[in-house]
Amino acid sequence: MVSRGFRAFVQTLAVLAAMTCGLMGAPAFAQAVNSGHVEMELAPLTATVQPGTTTYVALREKIAPRWHTYWKNAGDAGLPPTLTWTLPSGWKAGDTVWPRPQRLPQWQLMTYGYEGQVFLPVAIKVPASATNGDRAAIAAHVEILVCKDVCIPETADLKLALPVSTAIPEVSPQWGADVARALAEAPKPATFAASANYAKGVITLAAAGAPLKGVDANGAYFFPDDASMVLLPARQAVERGPDGLTLTLKPSPVLAKAGALSAPLTGLLATKSSAWEISARPNAPPPPGASGLGPALAAGDAPKNANSGIGGLLTALGFALLGGMVLNLMPCVFPVLSMKAAALAARAHAPEEARRDGLFFLAGTLSAFLVLAVVVVAGKAAGQALGWGFQLQSPKVTAALTLLTLAIALNLSGVFEAGLTLQGVGGDLQRKPGAAGAFFTGVLAVVVGAPCTAPFMASALGYALTAGAVATFVVFLALGLGLALPFVALSFSPALLRRLPKPGVWMDTLRKLLAFPMYATAAFMAWVFAQQSGGPALGLLMGATVTLALCLYLYGLHQQAYVEGRRSTASLVAAGAALIGALALAGFAAASETEPNAVVAEGGPSSVHAEPYSAERLAALRAQGKPVFVNFTAAWCVSCKVNEAVAFSSADTAKAFADTGAAYLVGDWTRRDAAITQALTAQGRTGVPLYLVYGVDGGEPKVLPQVLTSGAVVRALKAAARTG
């Protein structure tokens, strides 16, 4: 009789044998690795592989929203992914099959890459000596650069167990169909003739042959393999031919210096439906049929900048000067300019001091604009996209401005005196704060004025940030001159100054009243910080404001004791300790910033559903034949909030959205966002607000004024809904 224990032992062996057989025939297995902003894994084409054949294993990249990786030619910036393979003996990895890339323009740079999910297939040659039933261990070390408004290098070590079988392979059930699709849609080697010629400052790329006969040439584009040959951000003019295409490209400085093409021009010739890998013969006659039927739609995403040369610069300077002057009327700078007005009133009957203060105020505004220009030019050189108001996209800056404006408000309220030194209160307050205070007020007017974009400023800034460094500096200085000009003119006009009342007790009352706009500014900056960083960080910032107020109160007690001839070392030490505490809390608040929400879904009509802006969603809505209203806004943009309160809150606006069926997209630029920056740049703009209305008939959007009314929105929506 067989014992119960022996029977259990036999059953266990049977189970293990079954498991072993199952593993031998199991499909390929890989595990995804999330490197931070990209989920990666090795995705095989087939579940098993045959000895002596070639299969494909793809690098699957699932890229975080609004981030991107790069093509084999990254363009003006970036790096392509690299894969270092570890394969069994006798196995060999071939070249990567690169899918057609996207164009990713940023300011005056052009990069090529991928967003969303992409498969990069690699040919793997399986040796004939591979043993049936083995599970081949395949590994790849991946180094990848992923970018949004910053670029982060990430790595992953990926592994794949790939079964070897003499049976005919089946498509892998998980990713096989996607890899097969990537291979089917990948650019193919061209079977037609192509030539490239460089003359008269342009490259003429001509291609003709059966695959190009009758192809839709609109938007055709050439992706060069070598970024040093073609000026990538420039638009590419396309001309149709009966049997092909002719593209006119701008040469890179390297080619322009060389003066001639010395090697074939290789790259990707892409149309809407297909793409081919071409090698255009240099200095060869164009193939017949490549042109002659007129121009097609130009390709390229270079920023719009219709003005050029000295005329464009002079126009931009005029708009900058006017825009700077109008900025004085915008709500952002009211609190700061009211301080300057009070200072001028105090010196209304001291012309020399008034002129001095006016010049120092001008110096402050020009210095602040000069610093902004330096940052913008440096950012452009580093490949970053910066626009007007970029400094307020940083929670660290909004936290610092919250504390700064609170300190100014407490000073105006008389909690403490700025500039009070050991030489005495009276004379020091009348003299020393004059020049320094005027300079500081000019700087503060620029920093706090960033949430507003005045009329005329958009065109000037658009020119400055898409032109060269010299133009950027000149236009920014013209903006500063325009902002300071009214106060400079007033300070140099004795007749106007004499009309102001003489200094007296009324000035102290005015000063304390002016503290309240500064308190409001501090509260607004704290609200912006909350939109950027969330509730917990706001709690830390509120602690910092209370501690700073305690610090300045204690410092005011120290000043009062000094004026009365008493010692107050304890209050001064306590004020210093409170200041350290306030700065520490503010630092913790800024460091605890979190990712913002996808969209600030507010500011539009309350009855209209707001969706986050994306180029893909906009394209989908337009394909459905719907009118679309796009609102590019930011929490720190006071002009945006005023427009939304005035133009979007009315019943007429809500009714117009309902009657026309228009979709409402919100592009939130509260924190830096490369996709929204790109959309602004495409319209020749560098900041918010920007309002676009797309009609049902297609075509370019209608750009609404920066100062909105309900009537303007209603008229634009009705026009967008009309056909014909």
Tell how strand 82-86 and strand 92-96 pair up.
Answer: unpaired
pLDDT, position 409 = 81
For 444-472, how does the pLDDT look when each residue is reduced to its tens digit (9 = 90+)?
777 666 555 555 565 566 566 556 677 77
What residues contact residue 347 under an 8 Å CB cut-off, 6+ apart?
353, 354, 357, 434, 497
Helix (H) or strand (E) holding 6: helix 4-24
For 175-188, how does the pLDDT look when each residue is reduced to its tens digit (9 = 90+)?
999 999 999 899 99
| C-alpha 364, offset from chain centre | 29
Q: How far apart are CA 138 and CA 91, in angstroms?
A: 9
CA nearest to 702, candidates 711, 712, 377, 710: 712
Phi, psi of 168 (to 5 degrees): -65, 125
Least-confidence region, from 52-66, 206-220, 592-606: 592-606
- Answer whether residue 597 shows pLDDT above 50: no
Q: Which two tokens stand for residue 84?
A: 């270092």
Q: 27: helix, coil or strand?
A: coil
Q: How far apart are CA 645 and CA 53, in angstroms?
A: 67
Percent of residues, the chain, with pLDDT higher than 70: 75
> Which band of pLDDT confidence, cut at 50, 70 and 90, is reported for residue 374?
confident
pLDDT, position 427 = 35
Q: Which two tokens stand for residue 487?
A: 């106060």
pLDDT, position 417 = 74
Is the dihedral angle over the CA atoms 127, 177, 82, 301 positive or is it negative? Answer: positive
Query: Quick one: residue 361, left, alpha or beta (phi over 0 = left, psi -120 to 50 = alpha)?
Result: alpha
Q: How far apart are CA 323 and CA 386, in angstroms?
A: 19
- Cα–Cα separations (whole angstroms), residue 404 to 440, 447, 529, 582: 12, 11, 14, 12
| C-alpha 257, offset from chain centre | 33
What pTM, to 2 d.p., does this model score?
0.44
Q: Which two tokens stand for residue 414?
A: 């008389």
Q: How far apart are CA 264 and CA 195, in angstroms?
A: 8
3-state helix, strand, coil in the chain (%, to 5): 45, 20, 35
Angle between helices 505-533 and 334-346 (to 10 degrees): 160
pLDDT, position 500 = 63
Burial class (CB in 10 A: 0-12, 13-18, 19+), 285: exposed
CA nearest to 647, candidates 687, 600, 604: 604
Angle at 158 between CA 155 and CA 159, to 5 degrees: 165
User: Helical H runs in 347-456?
Assistant: 351-381, 395-412, 425-449
- Terminal C-alpha separation, the chain: 95
Q: How far apart are CA 606 and CA 9, in angstroms?
A: 72
CA nearest to 116, candidates 60, 164, 172, 77: 60
For residue 282, is the peptide bond before it cis, meaning its omega torsion is within 30 degrees of 0? no
- DSSP letter assigned to residue 285: P
pLDDT, position 601 = 39
What is 156-189 written as a DSSP string? EEEEEEEEB-SSPP-B-TTTHHHHHHHHHHS-EE
Least-confidence region, from 76-90, 111-125, 685-699: 685-699
Helix (H) or strand (E) holding 20: helix 4-24
Least-confidence region, from 47-61, 399-413, 499-513: 499-513
Instruction: Let me know: does 37 contact 154? Beta carbons within 8 Å.
Output: yes
Residues in the chain: 724
For 162-174, how does the pLDDT look when each residue is reduced to its tens digit (9 = 90+)?
999 999 899 999 8
| Letter string b/e over residues 633-649, b meaning 16 or more CB atoms within 10 A of that residue's CB | bbbbbbbbbbbbeebbe
Helices (H) and strands (E) in the chain, counts: 19, 25
CA nearest to 108, candidates 379, 307, 458, 456: 379
> Which band of pLDDT confidence, cut at 50, 70 and 90, is reported for residue 121?
very high
Q: How far apart are CA 176 and CA 25, in angstroms?
A: 17
What residues contact residue 94 under an 8 Å CB cut-off, 6+ apart?
54, 122, 123, 124, 125
Q: Mean pLDDT across the chain, nearest whole number?
A: 78
Burial class (CB in 10 A: 0-12, 13-18, 19+), 332: buried
Q: How far apart are CA 273 and CA 269, in angstroms?
A: 11
- Answer whether residue 206 shows pLDDT above 60: yes
What is 96-127 written as a DSSP string? E-PPPPEEEEETTEEEEEE-SEEEEEEEEEPP
CA nearest to 157, candidates 42, 62, 29: 42
Q: How far apart are CA 425 and CA 418, in angstroms?
A: 10
Helix (H) or strand (E) holding 516: helix 505-533
- Answer whether residue 371 shows pLDDT above 60: yes
Q: How far apart are CA 479 and CA 326, in angstroms?
A: 10
pLDDT, position 604 = 55
User: Helical H runs in 226-297?
Assistant: 253-258
Least-confidence region, from 127-141, 143-157, 247-261, 516-530: 516-530
pLDDT, position 483 = 82
Percent of residues, the chain, with pLDDT higher than 90: 25
What residues contact residue 180 under an 8 Å CB cut-off, 6+ apart?
45, 171
